Structure 1
Amino acid sequence: MATVSPPWSYTLQLPHDPRAPGIARATLRTVLAAHGLTELAPTAELLASELLTNAHLHTRGPYALRLLSVEPDRVRIAVWDTDPRVPPGFGEAPPRAAPADAEHGRGLPLVRACADSWGASVLRELGASKGGKLLWAECARAEWPVG
């Protein structure tokens, strides 16, 4: 009889500190290992790293990493920050190509290329909500053809 694992989620609140993205990536690896999803770690860590670095570089306030089981073999990596502006190339418009000599500008197009799905939500300040935005990306175990 097949078993179904219950859905799970983790949220890690992070201060605006240059060490925060590394701590979040270590937490991500631990969570994936605890749920038997270590094969997702390389892609999930890349996605998280780009989203976390974007939040750290382009905002002044705290940010948060949220991990969510979307399906048994699929995880959503989401990063919340205090700035409600969705970065160019992560909304509806296609990403802009970074100039060859640019030091920044490749992260979010990389997320779009490596994620199975991705998106953004602008959060309004309501009650206890702090507003801002949530950028997310999903990755899943590869489905191998049977036969």
Structure 2
Amino acid sequence: MTQVGDGGRVVIWRWSDRSCHVAPRIRVALRCTFRELRIPDKVIEDAVMAAWELTANSLEHARGPYEMRLLREGPSFVFEIEDSDPRLPVMQSSCTSRANSSAELTERGRGLQIVDAFTRGRWGFRPSGSEKKIAWMAISVTVDG
């Protein structure tokens, strides 16, 4: 059973550029970890989708090795994906503006719009030591409604 104590973290999965069948394995690892941590079912599917979008962004724009992890922050969690590319993305206004309609979205940046909507703007990128960066997002485990 996966357990994260207060202020603790759990590594969900590590892989390299040579790993096979990464996408389905990532989604399964995320879903299993979220269930083991008793994140409410109503939150899990959206959390998996948003975490996958951040991970897919790393897979497309960075290089491995990669590491996914969760950190407890009070009643919530922070999902992180670390990759081996120190460059922080330049955020375009269309990726961070919730005012855009779906008709105005370009072909690129839709995944980050999903992350922004799910987290209500609580996500971003930060450097991680030398030659690495972290994409992160907050996961609220309270269910509205």
TM-score of the pair, normalised by structure 1: 0.74
Stretches of structure 1 that go unaligned for 5 or more consecutive residues are 126-130
Moved more, 58-67 or 47-56: 58-67
Q: Which amino acid aligns with 2:72?
A: S
Larger Cα Rg: Structure 1 or Structure 2?
A: 1
Unaligned runs of 5+ residues in structure 2 are none
* Residue pair 1:88, 1:95 contacting (<8 A) in 2 also: no
**Aligned sequence identity (%):** 24
Q: How far apart, in 1, do the equivalents of 2:35 and 2:105 lie? A: 37
Alignment map for 1:1-147 (pairs within 5 Å): 6-7=5-6, 8-11=8-11, 12-16=13-17, 17=19, 19-39=21-41, 40-72=43-75, 74-89=76-91, 94-96=93-95, 102=107, 104-116=108-120, 117-125=122-130, 131-142=131-142
Q: Deviations over 1:76-116 (max 9, x none)?
A: 11111111122232xxx6345897662x3211122122114
Contact kept? 1:44, 1:77, Cα under 8 Å: no
After superposition, the Cα gap between the structure-2 partners of 1:25 and 1:71, relative to the gap in structure 1 and judged at 3 Å, is farther
CA RMSD of aligned residues (A): 2.7
> Greater helix percent: which structure?
2
User: Which consecutive aligned stretches of 4+ in structure 1 deviate over 4 angstroms post-superposition?
Assistant: 96-101
Deviations 1:99-144 (A, max 9, x none): 7662x3211122122114112211232xxxxx31101001213365
